[in-house]
Structures are given as structure tokens and as C-alpha cells.
Amino acid sequence: MKRATVWLALVALLITVTTVGCGPAPTPQVIKETVPVEVTKEVVVETTREVVVTATPVSPTAVPEQTGPATIMLYTSVPEGVVVPLVEKFNAENSSDITVEYYRAGSNSIISKITTELIVGRVQADVIWVADPAYPMSLKKMGLLMPYETPASIPDQFKDPDGYFCAGRVINMGLAYNTNLVSAEEAPKDWEDLLDPKWKGNVGLGSPLFSGTAIDAYQALRDKFGTEGEQSSKYAVYFKKLADNGAVVVSGQEDVIRKIASGDLKVGMAVDFMVRQQIDAGGPIAFVYPESGAVAIASPLAILASTDEPEAAQEFIDFCLSQAGQEFLVQLRVLSVNLDIAPPEGVPTVPEILANA
């Protein structure tokens, strides 16, 4: 197994977006996004990327009304164990003869794909569903999202105040361990327990180069440790110590969980519902909500303003956020954004998790 000897730092990714249309050219917008990247223990590798995107924001009122059967494209980082049955259920049960197709990849791959499509002037996605809320925020600032009305059953805390996106699920980053190799008593209980020398070479981490969940988790840990002075240094020291302890950076979160369940790794940072699905499949793995708080992430859905099928896109999101759609997600071991729907058996409620986040 390749052992990573890297630690993680944050750099600014600068995306310059120029919108074009009638009249004088507008001032380019600079959207700054904070993303973690790998650095060596000796040299910080900083990368600043500037991408000029020619994009014309589309007013929803300018899009022709849907007529007849529609096909929409979903770009998503939601794992196939969730998105496949959810899409199949919608395709089979919707009364409007709508077909949803999907492209599934890590959040950063989706961002790169949409950026490329913006450059060439043809965005294929109608709907996006990713882990990191920062991305739809950026698209909103660029005028590339279509507003829509979300159901009243979804609390305001999960909605964009201007109605451009809404969380479709709540995911949590915590700790996982292999139950064949690690007892519940010795399993890590909090983030800093991963620094224990007994886990040397056996701590798994998702790469922020692939995973939006990893980006959010590392940013939340930065906030937890503090952002100024000595506390900011504590964040850097934490990841430096993880590197010194032989932490293994793989690609996405699913890879972390597979390696823990297979015994290639003993412990790691992992996403709660993925661990629950692995347990349901018979995997020897368990999840721990850290004592100082898990990283709770509201995973957003949004409609691209360039869609040719706004009504179909709206109907698909309505389904995802409906009582039936959210209950189906719970059956798939995912936490609902409808707080009236009970969590999966044995799992804390969203308010309980958020209270300690």
C-alpha cells in the first residue's frame, strides 16, 4: 500500500468569470474558494489558478416552457448506492414522463466538468447535487442558478435565503474503525485521538482534490482549532502530526471506508451514512460521532439557469425534498433535511448532531 507522507494546507483558488451580453462588457467577477491541497512536509506547494469563463446567465423567464416528455441531466457527487435507487424510483413513479440521467463523480471533478462546459458555452447539467455548499454559492454569485420554491417542510436553515439552492440531505464526517481489528474501547473517540502512535500508518483520510466532503471537514476542523495566531498554528500542527503518524490520503470517502472495512487501514475520518451502508452489507466497520462534535454538512441541490427543462428539474427536486423522497433517503441510511422524519434506527437526530457540531 502506498503510504502518503503529506499534510494538508489551504490555498486560494481564484476563478475569474466574465459574463457577456448586450452593451459594455461587465467587470469580471473574482470568486475566491478555499480548498485544501497536499503539501510535502518540507515545502508548501501553493497553486493559484485563474480560469476565464465566458458565461451568459439565463433568466428563468427566458427558458421555453416544457412540452411533452423531458429528460434532464443530474451532475452529482452523491454515491451510487444512494443516487441510483433514488433516480430509479423517480423515473418509475413520476407522472410527467420525466427521465433523469446522471453523471456521478467527486465534487471537484464535477466543478471541473462544469467549468469546462462553461468555457465552451454548453452546460449539459440541469441539476447539481454536491456535498460542498460553497460551490452553489459561487454559481449563484455568477448568475448561473435558477431560483425555485422549496417545500415549507424544509427548515430555513437548509435553504438559500434567496431561493437558489436547498440541502437535500445532511451528511456528517466523523470517525470510523475496523471492528475486527479494533475494539470499541480502544477505538478513537475524538479527532485528536487519530494522533495516537498506536494508529501509525493506519489512519485513512479522503483527498480534498476529489472530495467536497473532505474540503468541508478540513475547513470545519480549521474553524474548530481556531483561525488566528496560535490556534491557527494548532490546525497546521494537527495535520502535520497526522502526516508524521503515517496518515494515508486516498481519493474519495468511499475509498476510505472500503480500506477500513477490508482491514487495509484500521481507523480514519469517514462519512456516517456510507459507514451505515457498509455495515448493512456486512462490513466489519463502525462509526463514532466525535466527542467534540462531528462535521455536519448540508448537501445542496440546485437548478442551472441554462436548463431547457426548468419544470422537469423543479419536479425532480420537489420529489427529492418531498416526504416520500426524504423517507426513501432515510431507508438508504441518509439523514433527512425534513426534521419531522425520524433518522435511521440508532442514529442521533439532526438537531442532536448540530447541537454538538
pLDDT of residue 9: 28
- Each residue of 4-31: pLDDT tens digit? 322 232 222 222 232 333 333 333 333 3
Of the two residues 323 and 238, the one the predictor is more confident about is 323
pLDDT (average), residues 38-64: 36
Mean pLDDT, rounded, of the chain:
82
- Each residue of 122-167: pLDDT tens digit? 999 999 999 888 899 999 999 999 999 999 999 999 999 999 999 9
Looking at the structure, do residues 175 and 291 belong to the same domain, yes or no?
Answer: yes
Of the two residues 208 and 191, the one the predictor is more confident about is 191
Asked if residue 351 belongs to a domain, the reply is no
Exposure string for 20-32, b = 16+ CB within 10 A, e = fewer: eeeeeeeeeeebe
Total residue count of the chain as it appears in this document: 357
pLDDT of residue 228: 59
Asked if residue 118 belongs to a domain, the reply is yes
Looking at the structure, do residues 113 and 26 belong to the same domain, yes or no?
Answer: no
Share of the chain above pLDDT 90, in %: 64
Residue 251 grid cell: 481519493
Looking at the structure, do residues 228 and 322 belong to the same domain, yes or no?
Answer: no
Asked if residue 238 belongs to a domain, the reply is yes
Which pTM value belongs to this model?
A: 0.78
Of the two residues 293 and 215, the one the predictor is more confident about is 293
Of the pLDDT bands very low, low, confident and very high (cuts 50, 70, 90), residue 108 is confident
Q: Which of the residue ranges 105-119, 196-210, 222-236, 311-325 would you say has the lowest mean pLDDT?
A: 222-236
Query: CA-CA distance, 107 to 105, in Å (whole number)?
Result: 6
pLDDT (average), residues 309-325: 97
pLDDT of residue 278: 96
Query: CA-CA distance, 357 to 351, in Å (whole number)?
Result: 10
Question: At 279, which CATH number?
Answer: 3.40.190.10
Asked if residue 62 belongs to a domain, the reply is no
**The total number of structural domains that make up the chain:** 3
pLDDT of residue 69: 84
90 pLDDT above the threshold of 80: yes
40 burial type by CB count under 10 A (0-12 exposed, 13-18 middle, 19+ buried): exposed
Looking at the structure, do residues 18 and 36 belong to the same domain, yes or no?
Answer: yes
322 pLDDT above the threshold of 80: yes
Looking at the structure, do residues 114 and 138 belong to the same domain, yes or no?
Answer: yes
Looking at the structure, do residues 95 and 32 belong to the same domain, yes or no?
Answer: no
Looking at the structure, do residues 272 and 306 belong to the same domain, yes or no?
Answer: no
Looking at the structure, do residues 183 and 277 belong to the same domain, yes or no?
Answer: yes
Looking at the structure, do residues 329 and 233 belong to the same domain, yes or no?
Answer: no
Looking at the structure, do residues 188 and 199 belong to the same domain, yes or no?
Answer: yes
pLDDT of residue 167: 97
Asked if residue 354 belongs to a domain, the reply is no
Of the two residues 337 and 31, the one the predictor is more confident about is 337
Looking at the structure, do residues 141 and 287 belong to the same domain, yes or no?
Answer: no
- Each residue of 256-292: pLDDT tens digit? 999 999 999 999 999 999 999 999 999 999 999 999 9
Q: How far is CA 161 from CA 129, 149, 210, 212, 312, in A?
A: 18, 11, 28, 22, 23
Looking at the structure, do residues 102 and 155 belong to the same domain, yes or no?
Answer: yes
**Residue whose C-alpha cell is 423517480:** 90
pLDDT of residue 60: 42
Task: State how far Cα 308 lies from the chain centre.
Answer: 26
162 three-state secondary structure? coil
47 pLDDT above the threshold of 80: no
Asked if residue 61 belongs to a domain, the reply is no
Asked if residue 233 belongs to a domain, the reply is yes
Asked if residue 343 belongs to a domain, the reply is no
Of the pLDDT bands very low, low, confident and very high (cuts 50, 70, 90), residue 245 is very high
306 is in which domain, residue-wise?
68-168+301-337
